[in-house]
Structure 1
Amino acid sequence: MQTFLVSTSVVGLAEIGDKTQLLSLVLAARYRKPVPIVLGAFVATLANHAGSGALGVLLARVLSPSILTWAVVASFVMMAGWILVPDKLSDADVVSTKLPLGIFGTTALTFFLAEMGDKTQIVTIALAARFHEFYWVVAGTTLGMMLANVPVIYLGHTLANRMPTRAVHILASTLFVVLGGLALRAALYPVEYPMF
């Protein structure tokens, strides 16, 4: 359960102001049909995070515990810095409305592609490698994404303009620093201290 809560909170905070949250806003404004947008975002996130979680678990099996621990430390520290850099949504990130995919298909495809190499995908890989709990990590990171994106889909500009994005980014960055510190402690003292 701890894995689920950590995964949900880390990704939920990391997603504030992220490219996919901006994409949620654009799709909601363009289509004005929240249900297929939410369902498309959910399916794309679940597929993307399942692949990321599987990669993280695979890395945990093939890498030595020492290398894996240091890789997790590095990924958390990297995320602490990366989260402070605001994302921008380019026109290339939004799939053309001329595609015959419908709202659900367009949202699913766009979300899936936007998540490739994104912060939350990297975090999902790192969390799955760290915790070795595929289902809890994927469930938590998917819920975190949905908690951050569904309100934007339904409330749009009203919510986005009132959210203290910079403060949330600082909080998320601090959380990554703490997680990185705990992972570092485990790397330095592998027998004496558990990682979390």
Structure 2
Amino acid sequence: MEAFLVSTGVVALAEIGDKTQLLALLLAAKFRKPVPIVLGILAATLVNHALAGAVGSWLMAQLGPAAMRWILGISFIAMAGWMLIPDKLDDADARVAERFGVFGATLIAFFLAEMGDKTQFATVALAARFDQYTWVIVGTTLGMMLANAPVVWIGDRAAQALPVRLVHGIAAALFAVLGVLALLGVGM
């Protein structure tokens, strides 16, 4: 349960103000069809995070707990710093694959936008940290949906009402705490 709750919370907070949240807002404004957009986000996130989680699990198996403790600790602390850097949406992310319909455009654009994103790296690290791959993927996917689905349904008002800097600060603090705990070997 810890893997699920931590994964959900960390990714939901990390996603606030992220470029994929901006992409969700842009897709909602462009297509005005929330159901296929939300389903596209869900499908893209499941695939992306399943792959990222597999990488994290594989790394843990290859390197072992002792090496991964240091790698994870440093990675989580680096993620804390990365959380404090504002994201921006690239125009190419918004235009990709429009010819595949609303669901297809969302699926492809979201999958590509997530590549190398904070939440993808967080998923790799969380899957390496917790020996519960399925719960990490379910948690990180739920976290993405908690952050992005309301933006699609409610739109710009929801995105502007959130104190993005405060939320990013909280997420950065959580990543820093996870990093320090990993370096100390707590729970590993």
- TM bin, normalised by shorter chain, reads over 0.9
Tell me which amino acid in the other structure corresponds to 2:137.
V
The structure with the larger Rg is: 1
What is the match of residue 52 of structure 1? 52
Q: What is the 5 A alignment of 1:44-83? A: 44-83=44-83
Taking the aligned partners of 1:90 and 1:120, their CA distance within structure 2 comes to 17
- What do residues 76-104 of structure 1 show as CA deviations (whole Å, max 9, x unaligned)? 0010000010100011111346x431000
Taking the aligned partners of 2:27 and 2:171, their CA distance within structure 1 comes to 25
- The number of residue pairs the alignment matches comes to 188
Tell me which amino acid in the other structure corresponds to 2:74.
A
**CA root-mean-square deviation:** 1.0
Tell me which amino acid in the other structure corresponds to 1:113.
L
Q: What is the 5 A alignment of 1:166-181? A: 166-181=165-180
- Return the offset for 1:184: 1.3
What is the match of residue 19 of structure 2? 19
TM (norm. structure 1) is: 0.93
- What do residues 7-31 of structure 1 show as CA deviations (whole Å, max 9, x unaligned)? 0000000000001000000000000
Note the residue ranges of structure 1 that are not aligned, 5 or more in a row. 187-192
TM (norm. structure 2) is: 0.97
Taking the aligned partners of 2:24 and 2:99, their CA distance within structure 1 comes to 19
Taking the aligned partners of 1:145 and 1:6, their CA distance within structure 2 comes to 13
What is the match of residue 29 of structure 2? 29
Runs of at least 4 residues of structure 1 off by over 4 A? Answer: none
Asked if residue 161 in structure 1 is aligned to residue 147 in structure 2, the reply is: no
What is the match of residue 144 of structure 2? 145
| SS state at 1:100 partner | helix
What is the match of residue 43 of structure 1? 43
- What do residues 143-168 of structure 1 show as CA deviations (whole Å, max 9, x unaligned)? 00000000000111111111100000
| SS state at 2:95 partner | coil
The structure where helix makes up a greater share of residues is 2
Tell me which amino acid in the other structure corresponds to 1:194.
G
- What do residues 83-138 of structure 1 show as CA deviations (whole Å, max 9, x unaligned)? 010100011111346x4310000000000000000000000000000112110000
Instruction: Indicate if the aligned counterparts of 2:9 and 2:143 stay in contact, CA closer than 8 A.
Output: yes
Identity %: 59
Taking the aligned partners of 1:194 and 1:171, their CA distance within structure 2 comes to 22
- Return the offset for 1:61: 0.5
Taking the aligned partners of 1:95 and 1:157, their CA distance within structure 2 comes to 19
Asked if residue 89 in structure 1 is aligned to residue 89 in structure 2, the reply is: yes
Taking the aligned partners of 2:121 and 2:178, their CA distance within structure 1 comes to 14
